[in-house]
Amino acid sequence: MRLRSKNNSPRPRALPQNRPLAFSQHSGVPYRNVAEVFRRGYPGKMADYIADSLIQEHLAGNPEDHFDIQVALAETSVMVTGQCPKNFHVDKEEIRGIINRIGYRPSERHRFNHFSCSILDSLNQQSPELAAAIQRRRGRSGGANAADDQAAVYGFATNETRTFMPLSAMLAHNLVEKIDDPKNRNVLGFLGPDGKLLVEVEYQDGQAKVKNLHASLQISGDALQQPAIFRTNFENWVLAELPDDIKHPNLSIVTNFFEIGGPQVETGMTGRQLQHDNYGSFFPATQFGYSGKDFSKIHRSGSYAARYAALNAVAANLVDWCEVFLNYEMGSSKVPSLHVNSNFAPDSDKAEALCFAIQDVMPLSPAAIHGTLGLDYGVLKQTALNGHFGNPEFPWEKSGRKDALRQSFNGRLDF
């Protein structure tokens, strides 16, 4: 049986399976998946947060404006650069407030702080040549809501966790969020703002267990005099946070401390942590940063749409895991080309039915993304803090189309 497209959209494709996760669930061969997440005081994460904070503040009163800005942090300086509207100005006091709240305050050994850092900007508007080219393409395609650039984006979902995220990524994000939570200051108050956490999960015979956890954390100078005590305190805290049923019998926790951190020792730039803000080291990622861009930028909104499609396929109990690849063409308002990978055999009728169901039901074109997902600029800062996926408050993390997707899938099989 060959399934046919119900419209003239490009034919979707089912890709060959290549998920070792699926293989490990049906064999005795162990497979390990890794996710690394950075704390909000890590230079690159701080750059993301500053960029999204600046544009969120501006877009609250100017929702039609467009941005593509980057922030760089180095030594004692903050640089804001990129494309922005004419009426945008860099709020230097807002930047200083962010740095202060994150925890970089004046001290004898820490040169980067909110009080003395220099803040520079070099901003311009979108290239007139590029803007004219996009406008010409949009005019030919007949749609104002067209892709602003060519883009290849990616989305993933799995039934491993309640957030439809890989277990390693969910655990890493949750732990880092709790480390940064002021409510835990009574236990973790000896930590500075910089650091990162890596979680490694081992899959074997359908079971997922945390095998290794590596933490690299900034610590106060006083605490550094007795690192063994604070290392034990932190590792005991981690053990208490991890559910017993996912701890590997040979779980290893390795903790490294350092005193001087932040931009003083490492340059941070917007988008550098993109892989870690997605699904973990094992999975592909859209190859452009999200932070600093408004939702009209297809690299950002298209990635959210791809995640939304994959999540609804899994939430509908059609597949155990799903990857969605979308290719956009600059200036085009049409539904992009679509490639889907899942635990269905790639040449099966079910795999093809899933491709067509996603194409028929999910909002994948630029206009449909904005008209259906209801993207709210009020969430920009939150995505920069704790990752772009896995937060049920984000509109692309909802499963509101799972029933329609299941109905379309079943109808395709009966077609």
How much is the pLDDT for 130?
A: 65
27 alpha carbon, distance to own chain's centre: 31
| Domains of the chain, residue spans | 28-38+167-260
Q: Where are the strands (E) in 84-158, listed by range? A: 118-124, 151-158
How much is the pLDDT for 296?
A: 86
Q: Which two tokens stand for residue 333?
A: 């308002």
As a whole number, the mean pLDDT across the chain is 87
Tell the residue number behind the tokens 């300086």, with chain if given: 77
Inter-residue contact 71 to 51 (CB < 8 Å): yes
How much is the pLDDT for 141?
A: 46
Please tell me the distance from the alpha carbon of residue 161 to that of residue 208, in angstroms, as a whole number: 11
Q: Which two tokens stand for residue 260?
A: 């001087």
Backbone angles phi, psi at 395, to 5 degrees: -65, -30
For the residues 54-73, what does the mean pLDDT come to? 93
| 306 has a pLDDT exceeding 90 | yes
The SS3 call for residue 58 is: helix
Single-letter amino acid, residue 308: Y
Share of the chain above pLDDT 90, in %: 63
Single-letter amino acid, residue 355: C
How much is the pLDDT for 131?
A: 64
- Residue 205: exposure state from Cβ atoms within 10 A (0-12, 13-18, ≥19): exposed
Closest CA to 402 of 323, 345, 278, 319: 319
| 16 has a pLDDT exceeding 70 | no
Inter-residue contact 46 to 102 (CB < 8 Å): yes
Inter-residue contact 66 to 85 (CB < 8 Å): yes
* Least confident among 62-76, 141-155, 303-317: 141-155
Closest CA to 20 of 3, 34, 5: 34
Neighbours of 377 (CB within 10 A): 17
- Over the stretch 91-129, which tens digit does the pLDDT of each residue have? 999 999 999 999 999 987 889 999 999 999 999 987 776
31/197: higher pLDDT? 197
How much is the pLDDT for 20?
A: 46
β-bridge pairing 118-124 and 77-83: parallel
Architecture of the CATH domain 28-38+167-260: 2-Layer Sandwich (3.30)
Q: Which two tokens stand for residue 92?
A: 């230097």
| 17 has a pLDDT exceeding 70 | no
Angle at 53 between CA 363 and CA 379, to 5 degrees: 35
Q: Where are the strands (E) in 172-246, listed by range? A: 191-204, 207-219
Please tell me the distance from the alpha carbon of residue 363 to that of residue 142, in angstroms, as a whole number: 18
